[in-house]
Amino acid sequence: MVDVVVVHSWKDEEKDKVMDFANKVMSMSKEKKLPSGLRLLGIELGQGKNMAVCKWEADSLNHLMDVAKSLGPTWDIQAFEVKTAYKKGLF
């Protein structure tokens, strides 16, 4: 398993599509209907910004991105594996 951060950014006119996408993913997570090997850890929305950051645990970055693309996003998505360098209480 790998930790993955996904950064979504969109234009104002895409906001409704992005929120529909986010609600669908959150519902799938809450109902335990995400594909095997994917676990949504959190979604952070930028206040006053057209940006969201999602934290995932995935069997691979490629699998996560394949699933995301199947949901039809039209906005910019950047995803990358991350490694915790510091977390309060861990070190």
Count of CB atoms situated within 10 Å of the CB of 25: 19
CA–CA separation, 5 vs 88, rounded Å?
Answer: 19
In a 13 Å sphere around the CA of 60, the CA atoms on its Cβ side amount to 3
Six token digits for residue 87? 């977390």
Amino acid at 33: K
Q: Does domain 2-82 have CATH number 3.30.70.100?
A: yes
Per-residue model confidence (pLDDT) at position 71: 86
CA–CA separation, 24 vs 64, rounded Å?
Answer: 15
| Per-residue pLDDT tens digits of the chain, which is 91 residues long | 999 999 999 999 999 999 999 999 999 999 999 999 999 999 999 999 999 999 999 999 999 999 999 988 999 999 999 998 888 887 6
DSSP reduced 3-state for 67: helix
Per-residue model confidence (pLDDT) at position 58: 97
Per-residue model confidence (pLDDT) at position 73: 92
Backbone angles phi, psi at 33, to 5 degrees: -115, 15
Q: Alpha helices of 1-91 — where are they, by DSSP H?
A: 15-30, 61-70
Per-residue model confidence (pLDDT) at position 91: 63
